[in-house]
Structure 1
Amino acid sequence: MGDVLSSIPGASVKPFTRVALTSVGAAVAGSALAISSLAAPAFATVESPNIIEPTPGSTQINIVGFNDFHGRILDGERFAATLLQAQQGFGEDGSLVISNGDAVGASIFESQILEDQPAIDILNQVGVDSFTQGNHEFDRGLDDAAGRLQNATNGPDLAANVTKADGSKPFDEYALFTINGVTVAVVGAVTQETPSLVSPDGIAGLTFGDPVAAVNDVAARLSDGNPDNGEAQVIIASYHEGGPSSNVPIETNLANETFRHLTEDTSADVDAIYNAHTHQTYAYDAPIGDTTRPVIQAGSYGANIGQVVLTVDAAGKVTASASSVVPTLAATAIPEALKNDPRIVEIRRIVEDAKARADVLGQEVIGTQTGDITRAKQYEPGSLTVDPATGVTSGGTVTNQDDRANASSLGDMVAQSMVESVNGTGRFEADLSIMNPGGLRADLIDDDGKVTYKEAATVLPFANNLSVATVSGATLKQVLEQQWQTNPDGTVPSRAYLQLGLSDAFTYTFDSSRAAGDRITGMYLNDLPIDPAAEYHVALPTFLAAGGDNFRALTEATSVQDTGLIDLDAFVDWVKAESATESRDVDAPTGLVPDTRRNGIEIGGYPFDAPVACGDSVTLSLSGFDLASLGYIQNSTVRASTGVVDNTGTESIVTLGEAPVLVDAPNKAELTLTIPEDFATDTFDVLVDAAPSGSYAIIQVLVTCDTGSVPPTTNAPEPTTSTPATTPPVADDGSLANTGADANALVGGLVAAIVALLLGGTVIIVRRLRMRGE
């Protein structure tokens, strides 16, 4: 049989005969399946989360699959033990172990720095029988995927839908295995979106076709009775593509066209379908004609395995099936016999060796920094020292190293690195970026002025891909509202508030005393108000794009594009670029410097839906204008100002109020805003800023006056709202430039240039502030 099969084009063959199952060892009580052995129709059962045990007297094929391992080698021992345990009842010769793509790439530091060779070594050691290609296998281009990686795996490597310009296929379409006397085919296909997920140069000349069409074509050949083009009695589709949601009814995922296509349009010749790519967890008994078949995905990062057991009759026809998503064993739950298995012992050695080598390689210096750039902290009251001249804090007894309820210099810097990295590809456009605080796992401490690769990798250890989610302005508001956390059932989690890191161009105001869902009172992008109906492109980790950390509004995105960038890789490249950029100010520090400005300020007491008359005053309660990172600036003054332009084109800044921040009550202040009597009826953008940090926010104030002595502008336009911008423009002095400034806006009386005022040693930037007389 082996000699015949090995001559079939497009096939990879493992032509050994597995031992037929004639007896069964002790089954786990309560987990043995009661599956009918009647010949056809076949019906699936879902057994999650138990390991499926054999049915005595039946011929069964045990398939143990996993997906999106992404080089998670530190859990390699637990993962390998689970793969081996799931085979024990059937015997390893009665089982088939398959990888469904992204075995490597987007990996943790210890594997990534060694080009994922430790991950490949672990998977080879545990006996993976076939490797379907994922998009991350193409991270370094076709030469690496079809060369180094394909040669390193014990293979075969599969991708039926990938074709070169000359019509040849760089990977096998399928692999054949003989298990218990039954010929089993695994047909692999990668997501058709791969070209948008990796560098175009690396895959030039490749075509990524419809994965379903490719699988169906192979399945038809394997079922046509012609031994010259291959034959299989059982066919498994291994798709590196999947549904968008975990643990939901199949109807929910079927609403997604990609998942529906995989599930309903895959040929009935296929007996089971493995999914991947979307990192979701599900096991379905999916209808196909007058029968059903398993459709399964096992999450990601080695956290689960996906087991499918097929019962076959004497002719090799599937008569019943069962599927289960099985959680990976805890370290303390690995049986002693498996701990001492030579393969597990070798995996343990591989991991320890990789860790030791990574510690050395991680010392590569990728950039420089001046000052600590850290997560938010909580301090023992009264323990901080504040420099009266600069407001810079020092010392202090830290009681919480990772205060996820507060803004940080590190969170905002990582967010800024993401938006710049995504836009730097030239393939995507992002307007802003958000970063979840739990994704930051360490600080960048300035102990020697240098940033090493390992330090960056320790900050961002999860190796998330970066995505671009397209959301409406209204959805963006919901995302910010969900910083006040609730679980899906409405309960409040132990972390009741999570502060998102935000890129520089985005600011907002909030009032925590308002009702849930109505706390965000204003949002600005590039100093233009967010339009609830407009679409904005948000760069973010895939974890957030999937609604992680209860930011469920992000699942309402009209589209989510995987950029193919890994957060760590993008951050490292960004640090290198920032450190190589010469400062415009010879006295300014180079490399990374801490952000001193907070993007969101709490403003209470302002009647946002009511006008203010000329000559009247409104007292605002301000808070949350300080960061909480090591060395943050404690502000001493708050101020409100607006810009006016008369019909001669003369611009000026009007201060509407100013107040000190009391030393014994930091991070909050009462600011009285007074509208001059000579103002005209109009809506004003009022800048509320804190010095000396430069934190600011913008509020719109509706002013009503009987008359106005300020000369009115002519042909003034209606107030405009923001439109998405590709990259926040930067002024020559390094501050964010005013946007949306064109000739019409200038004629209309909008202040289109940056107006800088010096107050207490800090520059106050007034952007898009306007006044229009009636």
Structure 2
Amino acid sequence: MQLRSPGADPRSAAARTRSGRRAAGVVAALTAFGLAFGGAASAQAAPPTDKPKPPKPPVVAAKTVVDINLVTVNDFHGRIEQSGTAAGIARLSSAVKEIRAQNPNTVFAAAGDMIGASTFTSFIQQDKPTIEALNAAGLDVSAVGNHEFDQGFADLTDRVMPLALWEYLGANVYDKETGEPALPEYWVETFDKVRIGFVGAVTDELPSLVSPSGIEDITVGDPVEAANRVADQLSDGDDANGEADIVVFLVHEGAATTSVESATDPNTPFGDIVLNANDNIDAIVSGHTHLPYNHVIDGRPVISSGQYGERFSNMEITFDRKGKKITKMQNTIYTMALATDANGNVTQWYAQPDPEVVPIVTEATKVADVLGSVEIGIADAAFNRAQQPGIVNGQPALVENRGGESTIGNFVADVQLWALNQNRPAGSQVEITLMNPGGIRANIDAGSTTYREAANVQSFANTLVTLDLTGAQVKQILEEQWQPAGASRPFLKLGVNEALSYTYDPTAAAGSRITEITLGGEPLDPARTYKVGANSFLASGGDNFVTFRQGKNSADSGKVDLEAMVDYFRTFGNAAPDYAQRAVGVDVVGLSGGVATVKLSSLDFSTAADPKAGTVTVSAEGMEPVTVAVDSAFPTPSAFDEIGRATVTFPVPAGATSQTRFTITTPTGTTSSFVLPIS
């Protein structure tokens, strides 16, 4: 097989010799929770017998130089089906098995989050299809990630680990009462008398990423401290406590960017790991941040393969048994999608689907189709994405518009606010939720709503995240709806929760378009800190909403966005769209001679099924309300949220000042306001 590596960065770590390593020995078979986590099994004495012993086999000289392939992935998140650039487990399995066929001395390892935050086919079956598929693909060992704890520590140890044929490692997870390791700490495999050991650890931010009640029996320690302790144990020459010639650290923690500077930033959790991992650790395989990087830092590979099985890494390791040293550690990242067409559709894959794994995915899909037909609630009316004129198959048609306010975008934000505040302590309630339009991939039709229909709306299995942002930062995020120059879409309209509303001036300069923001009817305080919720994609700064990255105290709830929607419907039974606009355009185009002229926009939703405002009324204390018709035709250009436009001219009340508030109302429930620049 000829390996292809678009964009790979193959670099060889310098040969390194570590003191205290012995070249041979028996690896002890240790157990935790009844699960073996030693490497090679120790030999047992044969029972006495009077039968003549068979002749001894000829002695075969052990190899002096041993080549090992280490194939790694991370953050797979149950992406068992092929979708977009996620190749699916069947193709990933073939890639691993091709390497293993070339070199039987191959280990398939992972850095955590193999399950959890999964797509519907796996999620609806508690990730059993993912576990079965990874078993068939030959996964050998993995660190635990935070999502392995989504349903609690007991679920991990009592359900997930017995189903998984690979070893789950967590050296920094301790029993709260005894302080003893609560999970297997290491696993060792032997090839031609060369032992490669794996130490696993999870991010020490785990307590803030999952439900506290699910991990109340454990504590989480410093990952690098635990890794150093176990690596030293594997390197002390004592076969009784496990020995390894090569030690690989599998850690579910990662760099914030793909740059080497990020990986070595001492002020970050991952930088602390990279800079403080001791010399008994030969390579660091990481994850958690979903970014692909391939560094060599201080002669040691520091890698991550990205996410969802879109890529995998192949580390070629050569060990000189005679010299007791590693002479080669060269990692290459391979992209599963080798070529795409102009529309981004994959036209060439790295590998063909594994026939052993395909039936597992096929059966899981069938089961998910049945379970997906279960009704979860009733939509009183359709929840729609925004639309704009476009071309489909060469003919004019209405197409999705991610630049328009939508009933479904606002509904998702409302659902997420509700879900995040369930069982949340008083004083820490989420006040603002924001939803990116690209994360909404389908409408919800009126009538019976099924599990599958809800899954089709939010198909990425993002989790819900909370973080602290100032009012000024929230304003900047709303400014970032106008995308940077050169972006594929010039404007992305965020769904916002019901209590949040704002006005904007579509003609203003970049950075000054948001004119007013209110929360619960009160002005948003720029200096105050607010608890904000969003899906994990948006919360990480996705779609150029980079100000999210300035948030403090980020915490992953562990709840998948789909779960939130299902729970909402099952709790309330019915859901109805809110036809009030939560953002209104206000452009004061004239103010002279006691008369004001104001252009209003974003007074209507764009789909034909959504009721139209018809009219808009502007009023203030001391003036007669003025009502005018609203133009519901699509504007040009239509990629911005400007549908539902009206020009209102009215006399300014005597005594009005720059603090006088003019109220905007429509028959569809929109309520907003503005002030005039009266000097």
TM band (smaller chain) = 0.7 to 0.9
Letter in 2 for 1:478: Q
Q: 1:539 maps to which residue?
A: 533
Q: Deviations over 1:64-121 (max 9, x none)?
A: 11111111010122222233344455x1x22111121111111111111111111111
Match of 2:80 among 58, 69, 73: 73
Describe the SS at the equivalent of 1:434: strand
Q: 1:620 maps to which residue?
A: 598
Match of 1:603 among 586, 603, 618: 586
Letter in 2 for 1:5: V
After alignment, is 657-666 or 466-475 more displaced?
Answer: 657-666
Q: Tell me the distance in 2 between the aligned counterparts of 1:664 and 1:416.
A: 28
Within the alignment, does 1:370 sit opposite 2:380 as a pair? yes
CA contact (8 A) 1:411 1:502 kept: yes
Match of 2:37 among 2, 12, 23: 12
Match of 1:318 among 315, 320, 326: 326
Match of 2:460 among 454, 459, 462: 462
Q: Tell me the distance in 1 between the aligned counterparts of 2:181 and 2:64.
A: 42
Q: 2:355 maps to which residue?
A: 345
Q: 1:360 to 1:69 in 2, by over 3 A?
A: same
Q: Tell me the distance in 1 between the aligned counterparts of 2:571 and 2:644.
A: 34
Describe the SS at the equivalent of 2:114: coil
Match of 1:220 among 232, 238, 263: 232
Within the alignment, does 1:162 sit opposite 2:184 as a pair? no
The TM-score with structure 2 as length reference comes to 0.83
Q: 1:249 to 1:630 in 2, by over 3 A?
A: farther
User: How far 1:272 sits from its partner (Å)?
Assistant: 0.4
Match of 1:550 among 544, 550, 553: 544
Letter in 2 for 1:686: F
The TM-score with structure 1 as length reference comes to 0.74
User: How far 1:16 sits from its partner (Å)?
Assistant: 7.5
Q: 1:478 maps to which residue?
A: 476
Match of 1:669 among 631, 637, 646: 646
Within the alignment, does 1:295 sit opposite 2:295 as a pair? no
Match of 1:685 among 652, 661, 666: 661
User: How far 1:541 sits from its partner (Å)?
Assistant: 0.9
User: How far 1:593 sits from its partner (Å)?
Assistant: 0.8
Q: 2:610 maps to which residue?
A: 632
Q: 1:296 to 1:469 in 2, by over 3 A?
A: same
Q: Tell me the distance in 2 between the aligned counterparts of 1:425 and 1:517.
A: 37
Identity %: 33
Q: 1:502 maps to which residue?
A: 496
Match of 2:672 among 694, 697, 701: 697
Within the alignment, does 1:512 sit opposite 2:506 as a pair? yes
Aligned counterparts, 1:323-334, within 5 A: 323-329=331-337, 333=348
Q: Tell me the distance in 1 between the aligned counterparts of 2:624 and 2:193.
A: 86
Structure 2: gaps of 5 or more residues: 1-22, 43-62, 82-87, 339-345, 635-642
Q: Tell me the distance in 1 between the aligned counterparts of 2:582 and 2:207.
A: 35
- Which of 1 and 2 has higher RCO (CA within 8 Å, sep 6+)? 2
Letter in 1 for 2:384: T
CA contact (8 A) 2:210 2:557 kept: yes
User: How far 1:253 sits from its partner (Å)?
Assistant: 5.9
Letter in 1 for 2:38: V
CA contact (8 A) 1:77 1:347 kept: yes
Q: Tell me the distance in 1 between the aligned counterparts of 2:329 and 2:247.
A: 13
User: How far 1:555 sits from its partner (Å)?
Assistant: 2.0
User: How far 1:494 sits from its partner (Å)?
Assistant: 2.8
Q: 1:440 maps to which residue?
A: 440
Q: 1:500 to 1:680 in 2, by over 3 A?
A: closer
Aligned counterparts, 1:636-647, within 5 A: 636-642=614-620
Q: 1:201 maps to which residue?
A: 213
Q: Tell me the distance in 1 between the aligned counterparts of 2:601 and 2:189.
A: 66
CA contact (8 A) 2:262 2:271 kept: no
Please tell me the root mean square deviation across aligned C-alpha atoms, in Å.
2.8
Q: Tell me the distance in 1 between the aligned counterparts of 2:633 and 2:98.
A: 62
Letter in 2 for 1:192: D
Q: 1:339 to 1:299 in 2, by over 3 A?
A: closer
How many residues get paired? 606
Q: 1:660 maps to which residue?
A: 629
CA contact (8 A) 1:244 1:256 kept: no
Q: 1:127 maps to which residue?
A: 138
Within the alignment, does 1:243 sit opposite 2:237 as a pair? no
Q: Tell me the distance in 1 between the aligned counterparts of 2:97 and 2:472.
A: 49
Q: 1:283 maps to which residue?
A: 294
Within the alignment, does 1:95 sit opposite 2:70 as a pair? no
CA contact (8 A) 1:685 1:699 kept: yes
After alignment, is 552-561 or 457-466 more displaced?
Answer: 552-561
Q: Tell me the distance in 2 between the aligned counterparts of 1:366 and 1:413.
A: 16
Q: Tell me the distance in 1 between the aligned counterparts of 2:165 and 2:633.
A: 67
Q: 1:468 to 1:630 in 2, by over 3 A?
A: farther
Q: 1:63 to 1:16 in 2, by over 3 A?
A: farther
After alignment, is 349-358 or 157-166 more displaced?
Answer: 157-166
Q: 1:429 maps to which residue?
A: 429
Q: Deviations over 1:681-731 (max 9, x none)?
A: 561333222x21112323234656xxxxxxxxxxxxxxxxxxxxxxxxxxx
Q: 1:353 to 1:180 in 2, by over 3 A?
A: same
Q: 1:692 to 1:253 in 2, by over 3 A?
A: farther
Q: Deviations over 1:146-201 (max 9, x none)?
A: 01111111121211111222334332110011124311110111122222222222
Letter in 2 for 1:78: R
Q: Tell me the distance in 1 between the aligned counterparts of 2:278 and 2:623.
A: 71
Q: Deviations over 1:566-625 (max 9, x none)?
A: 11111111122222xxxxxxxxxxx11112011111111258xxxx89x82211001111
Describe the SS at the equivalent of 2:518: strand
Aligned counterparts, 1:387-406, within 5 A: 399-406=397-404
CA contact (8 A) 1:404 1:437 kept: yes
Describe the SS at the equivalent of 1:154: coil
Describe the SS at the equivalent of 2:517: strand
Q: 1:184 maps to which residue?
A: 196
User: How far 1:630 sits from its partner (Å)?
Assistant: 4.8
CA contact (8 A) 1:71 1:119 kept: yes
Q: 1:345 to 1:673 in 2, by over 3 A?
A: same
After alignment, is 397-406 or 174-183 more displaced?
Answer: 397-406
Q: Tell me the distance in 2 between the aligned counterparts of 1:507 and 1:362.
A: 35
CA contact (8 A) 2:28 2:41 kept: no
User: How far 1:654 sits from its partner (Å)?
Assistant: 5.8
Describe the SS at the equivalent of 2:400: coil
Q: 1:522 to 1:270 in 2, by over 3 A?
A: same
Describe the SS at the equivalent of 1:202: helix
CA contact (8 A) 1:513 1:519 kept: yes
User: How far 1:668 sits from its partner (Å)?
Assistant: 0.9
